[in-house]
Amino acid sequence: MSVLLEVIATTVADARAAAQAGAGRLELVTAMGEGGLTPSVGLIEAVVAAADIPVNVIVRPHSRSFVYDADDYAVMLRDIRAVKAAGANGIVIGMLDTAGAIDREGLARACDAADGLDITFHRAFDEARDLREALDVLLRVDAVKNVLTSGGKPSVLQAPAVIGELVRQASGSHCTVLAGAGLTIDAVAGFVSETHVEAVHFGSGVRVDGNGLAPVDPAKVARVRALLDATSA
């Protein structure tokens, strides 16, 4: 089975370049320097129209924290419905309570609003007090199809053992561990072989000069795709 390659897009040009070069899915964000915030409806509609691969859209109202109040949730639920109306494949979302556990009630409300969209729980997961406990919670939520994680470290390359454990924990479930943050082209083949992940996530690693604010470099996306194909072969 080939490893899924998800690439962050911040513009329509990014989305086209990544899709044409072999990405299997897009994560659409704005404000990549802040870790990604909810993009405009206009951008979502344009990217969905331009890309022939699934588009998952981040729903994150601000970058202060992953603990949200009632006003934040009101905004997020409206945004989720707008993402669905725009024709996206899914949402990318994450929420914690003040104790560092998954905010189950908030997640349930997001799932209701998503109404069948795929849900990726994003790197809020890495700030949870206990990653295995957090994954156990998410494995009980049918709508959560992916968990984006760097294994609790700034770079996923610092946590291959943790990623491997999470992959084993999620094995056979409806949920895929999506390894991302800090992945490089040079390291990806060895990382996949060591951890047995079935999906990887690239941002800066497939951009011009490795700069998160630069455009997607289609040659880099194609190189990652070729390495992943060779690994699974």
- Tens digits of residue pLDDT in 85-133: 999 999 999 999 999 999 999 999 999 999 999 999 999 999 999 999 9
Question: Which residues lie below 8 Å from residue 80, measured CB to CB, with a gap of 6+?
Answer: 59, 91, 93, 110, 113, 114, 117
Q: Is 141 in contact with 105 (CB distance < 8 Å)?
A: no
User: What does the pLDDT read at residue 224?
Assistant: 98
Q: Is 27 in contact with 201 (CB distance < 8 Å)?
A: yes
* Percent over 70 (pLDDT), the chain: 100
CA distances 76 to 35, 106, 139, 221, Å, are 16, 10, 22, 31
Structure tokens at 193: 């072989």
Residue 4 CB neighbour total at 10 angstroms: 18
**DSSP structure class, residue 208:** G
> How many residues does this entry show for the chain?
233
The reported pTM is 0.97
d(CA 199, CA 178): 5
User: What does the pLDDT read at residue 233?
Assistant: 79
Helix ranges, 51-170 (H): 70-85, 104-114, 131-139, 160-170
Q: Is 40 in contact with 30 (CB distance < 8 Å)?
A: yes
Q: Which of 185, 129, 194 is nearest to 159 (CA)?
A: 194
Q: Which residues pair with residue 119 across a beta bridge?
A: 91, 144
Complete domains list, the chain, with CATH: 4-232 (3.20.20.380)
- Reading phi first (left if > 0) and then psi (alpha if -120 to 50, else beta), residue 65 is in beta
For the cut 90, the answer to whether the pLDDT of residue 1 exceeds it is no
